[in-house]
Amino acid sequence: MSSLLVLAIVVVIGLVAFFIGRQRAAAQDNGKVKPHSRAHYHGWWAFLLAVLPALLLLAVWAGGSSVYLDRHIHAALPERTVDSKVASEALDVSLVKSLARGLRKLDAGTLAALPASFAELQPQLAAKGVALASDTQDYMIPIAVEANKVQDRLGLFGAVIILALSIAGAFHALRQIAPRARARNNVERLMLWGLLAASTIAILTTVGIVLSMLFQTITFFESVSPMSFFFGTVWDPRFAAAGSGGSQGQFGLIPLLAGTLYIAAVALLVAVPVGLMSAVYMAEYATPRVRSVVKPALELLAGIPTIVYGIFAVVTLGPFLRDLSAALTGGSPFIQGQSIFTAGLVMGVMLIPVVSSLSDDIITAVPRAMRDGSLGLGATRSETIKRVILPAALPGIVGAILLTASRAIGETMIVVLAAGVAANLTINPFEAMTTITVKIVNQLTGDLEFNSPQTLVAFALGLTLFALTLVMNIVALYIVRKYREQYE
């Protein structure tokens, strides 16, 4: 029986248990004893007992039987020799498995008279819409047939146990029903566990991010030394096509890191003054009418996907700046179509609403009394802002700038489109440079074999990026939090 069918039956059992449970609990309420829980809690308790343990077992069983099946196929395969026709043992197993899946589509009559050679079998399978790799071997057919039998047996056996467990759970819960039974407490305890589980997903995600990238990075460092990765100044991964092997590339992080930081710096040079001044103006000067127009507009700017900014940079702004610079010098342009300046400028504009909304929160959090005190002593508004509010808000603003910087470093689509792909080391902002994120995308969108250093380097870059932004985020969040506490 397939897992999906078992799942459906279990849920049906659970629903039946729910209705019976509710019914019984309601029937027991004769007005003499005050029931502890309302009737539907008894129903839900029966439902949970019928469904949860069975589902847990179902998951374990499904995982376990697939492992068992793999081992079974492994054991049945002939000993590997030098002249084996299939490249690897793993490939052998996967071929048998896809063959076994294909055999499931055949009807009973064909299965009974199964041809012994794959050449004869293939057209029959193809007629059912099953496409198989042509290096499937003849000896795999009996193994696949056997594997299907084992799988059927395991499935049937598992289904019986799971359904029995489900029914037993339902009966157990139904037997417990009594006016003073604490069904509500039971249900609520389980709900609490569910809520707790949901909140651990955040931790699991972080662990998943770190572990997955760490393992790939370790594999990467087996073929490239960490020293030459972290301190290398040449990025030349040599896109080795699958199989050609041997040609080792150079994976120096320095040019990518330099490009990333350079572009982020340009972006911050645009975003911080403009964003901060907008926030100050909005908080201190703007009339309510201006505010009601400008604030949504800035939110709109924040809601535009970064790919749109990237396309604007590469389709409109880049060519415009190139032509402008050509017109200025009257000849060859000194700003390239893809340049640090273009990418940084557009990214800066993207970050304006980020800076302004973060600093808006921080500026409005400065206590009214400080502002009033300064104004009362005769300071003008701008003096109050420059000498009282901004110094008081400084830690918060530093935190906001750090958060913005981490956004700038991790930004992908703008730089993929507008910054260029050549890993240069230059200080001229009008030339192209590339970034960590661009290279992650480049290395992972080609058709590369997965275990080559050319692909694995993307994970090492990702881990570097993650570590970099993690430190900035944590410091920023710490500063912002400390600052908020100061005035609370």
* Token pair for 200: 């651990």
Q: Which is nearer to another protein, 245 or 305 (CB)?
A: 305
Q: What's the CA gap between 404 and 410, in Å, rounded?
A: 10
* Token pair for 269: 């040079």
Least distance (Å) from another protein to the CB of residue 403?
Answer: 6
**Contact (Cβ atoms closer than 8 angstroms) between residue 29 and residue 39:** yes
Which of 301, 326, 390, 398 binds another protein (CB under 8 A)? It is 301
Q: What's the CA gap between 48 and 40, in Å, rounded?
A: 12
209 near another protein, judged by CB under 8 A: yes
Q: What's the CA gap between 190 and 367, in Å, rounded?
A: 44
Least distance (Å) from another protein to the CB of residue 460?
Answer: 11
Q: Which is nearer to another protein, 156 or 207 (CB)?
A: 207
Q: What's the CA gap between 93 and 77, in Å, rounded?
A: 8
First to last CA, the chain: 61
470 near another protein, judged by CB under 8 A: yes
Give, as one character, the DSSP assignment of residue 236: E
- What are the CB-based long-range contacts (under 8 Å, 24+) for 1-9? 1/155, 1/156, 1/159, 2/155, 3/58, 3/62, 3/155, 5/159, 6/58, 6/158, 6/159, 6/162, 6/163, 7/55, 7/58, 9/163, 9/166
Q: Which residues fall within 8 angstroms of residue 22, CB to CB, at 6 or more apart?
A: 39, 40, 42, 43
114 near another protein, judged by CB under 8 A: no
444 near another protein, judged by CB under 8 A: yes
63 near another protein, judged by CB under 8 A: no
Q: Which stretch binds another protein (CB under 8 A): 154-162, 239-247, 357-365, 458-466?
A: 458-466
Q: ∠ CA(413), CA(415), CA(419), 5° rounding?
A: 150
Q: Which of residues 372-391 bind another protein (CB under 8 A)?
A: 380-383, 385-386
Q: Which stretch binds another protein (CB under 8 A): 76-84, 241-249, 420-428, 456-464?
A: 456-464
Least distance (Å) from another protein to the CB of residue 37?
Answer: 10
**Contact (Cβ atoms closer than 8 angstroms) between residue 418 and residue 404:** no
Report the candidate in 448, 441, 447 with the shortest Cα–Cα distance to residue 421.
441
Binding mask 147-176 for another protein (x = CB under 8 A): ------------------------------
Least distance (Å) from another protein to the CB of residue 332?
Answer: 23
Which of 65, 137, 186, 306 binds another protein (CB under 8 A)? It is 306
Binding mask 260-289 for another protein (x = CB under 8 A): -------------xxxxxx-xxx-xx----
Q: Which is nearer to another protein, 7 or 301 (CB)?
A: 301
Q: Which is nearer to another protein, 13 or 463 (CB)?
A: 463
Q: Which is nearer to another protein, 205 or 233 (CB)?
A: 205
Q: Which sign does the torsion angle of CA 215, 217, 222, 225 carry?
A: negative
Q: Which residues fall within 8 angstroms of residue 29, CB to CB, at 6 or more apart?
A: 35, 39, 179
308 near another protein, judged by CB under 8 A: yes
292 near another protein, judged by CB under 8 A: no
Which of 166, 216, 339, 342 binds another protein (CB under 8 A)? It is 216
Specify the amino acid at residue 315: V
The DSSP annotation for 250-278 comes to EE-SHHHHHHHHHHHHHHHHHHHHHHHHH
Q: How many Cβ atoms from other residues are within 10 Å of residue 195's Cβ?
A: 9
With contacts defined by CB under 8 A, how many residues of the chain interact with another protein?
89
Q: Which of residues 325-364 bind another protein (CB under 8 A)?
A: 349, 352-353, 356
Least distance (Å) from another protein to the CB of residue 71?
Answer: 17
413 near another protein, judged by CB under 8 A: yes
H/E stretch holding 32 reads none
Q: What's the CA gap between 98 and 73, in Å, rounded?
A: 12
Q: Which stretch binds another protein (CB under 8 A): 121-129, 156-164, 400-408, 420-428?
A: 400-408
299 near another protein, judged by CB under 8 A: yes
Least distance (Å) from another protein to the CB of residue 177?
Answer: 19
Q: What's the CA gap between 257 and 260, in Å, rounded?
A: 5
324 near another protein, judged by CB under 8 A: no
Which of 220, 309, 341, 483 binds another protein (CB under 8 A)? It is 309
Q: Which is nearer to another protein, 263 or 349 (CB)?
A: 349
Q: What's the CA gap between 348 and 267, in Å, rounded?
A: 4
**Contact (Cβ atoms closer than 8 angstroms) between residue 317 and residue 346:** yes
**Contact (Cβ atoms closer than 8 angstroms) between residue 361 and residue 284:** no
Q: Are strands 235-236 and 250-251 parallel, antiparallel or unpaired?
A: antiparallel
Q: Which is nearer to another protein, 138 or 383 (CB)?
A: 383
Binding mask 70-109 for another protein (x = CB under 8 A): ----------------------------------------
**Contact (Cβ atoms closer than 8 angstroms) between residue 384 and residue 374:** yes
12 near another protein, judged by CB under 8 A: no
Report the candidate in 431, 89, 28, 455 with the shortest Cα–Cα distance to residue 263.
431
Q: Which is nearer to another protein, 243 or 303 (CB)?
A: 303
Binding mask 177-206 for another protein (x = CB under 8 A): -------x---x--xx-xxx-xxxxxx-xx
Which of 21, 100, 469, 483 binds another protein (CB under 8 A)? It is 469
Q: Which is nearer to another protein, 195 or 369 (CB)?
A: 195
Q: What's the CA gap between 269 and 154, in Å, rounded?
A: 64
